[in-house]
Structure 1
Amino acid sequence: MGVFGAALVFLVGCGSRTVGTATGVEATGAAAEGGATGGAVAAPAWTLSAPIRIDGVRTTDGGRSLVVGAEVPDGPVDVDCVRDLRGALDTVEHGTVYVSVTYESRSQDREAGCTGTRRVEAKVDLGEPLGSRRVMVNSWNVYTPAGATPPALRPCDENGCDPTPPRCTPSSYRQAVDDTDIPKHTNWDERGCDETWLVLDLSTRMGPACGDAGDGCASGSITQRWFYRAEPSGWQAVAMNGEAGCTGIREVLPELPEHLCASLPRLGRG
Structure 2
Amino acid sequence: MAVLGATWVLLAGCGSTPADAGQEPAGVAPSATTAPAWTLAAPIRIDGVRTTDGGRSLVVDAEVPDGARDCVRSLRGELDTVEHGTVYVKVTYETPSLDRASGCTDTQQVTATVQLREPLGSRKVMVNSMDVYTPVGAEHSPVLRQCGENGCDPTPPQCTSSSYRQAVNDTDIPEHTSWEERGCDDTWLVLDLSTRMGPACGDPGDGCPSSSVAQRWFYQAEPSGWQPAATNGDAGCTGIHKILPELPEHLCASLPQLARR
- TM over 0.5, shorter chain: yes
The corresponding residue for 2:102 is 113
Deviation by residue 1:214-233 (Cα, 9 ceiling, x = unmatched): x9x98744322111122221
- CA distance in structure 1 between the aligned counterparts of 2:37 and 2:177, rounded to whole angstroms: 48
Structure 1 counterpart of 2:224: 233
Do the aligned partners of 2:133 and 2:146 also contact (CA within 8 Å) in 1? yes
What's the TM-score once normalised by structure 2's chain length? 0.68
Of the three residues 112, 124, 139, the one matched with 1:134 is 124
Paired position in structure 2 for 1:24:
none
The count of residues paired between Structure 1 and Structure 2 equals 234
Structure 2: gaps of 5 or more residues: 1-7, 14-24
5 Å matches for 1:1-16?
none
2:190 corresponds to which of 194, 199, 207: 199
CA deviation after TM superposition for structure 1 residue 90, in Å? 4.8
Cα shift at 1:95: 2.6
Which structure is higher in helix share? 1
* Displacement after TM superposition at 1:166 (Å): 1.7
Q: Secondary structure at the match of 1:81?
A: coil
Superposition CA RMSD, Å: 4.1
Instruction: Tell me whether 1:188 sits opposite 2:179 in the alignment.
Output: yes
Matches within 5 A, 1:1-270: 46=38, 49-59=40-50, 64=55, 66-74=58-66, 76-77=67-68, 79-90=69-80, 92-107=82-97, 110=99, 112-113=101-102, 116=105, 118-124=107-113, 132-145=122-135, 150=140, 151=143, 153-157=145-149, 159-206=150-197, 208-209=198-199, 220-269=211-260
- Equivalents in 2 of 1:62, 1:170: separation in Å? 43
Identity among equivalent pairs (%) = 61
Unaligned runs of 5+ in 1: 1-31
Q: Normalising by structure 1, what TM-score? A: 0.66
**Bigger radius of gyration, 1 or 2?**
2
CA distance, structure 1, for counterparts of residue 64 and residue 151 of structure 2: 26
2-structure distance, mates of 1:111, 1:200: 48
Tell me by how many angstroms 1:239 deviates: 1.8
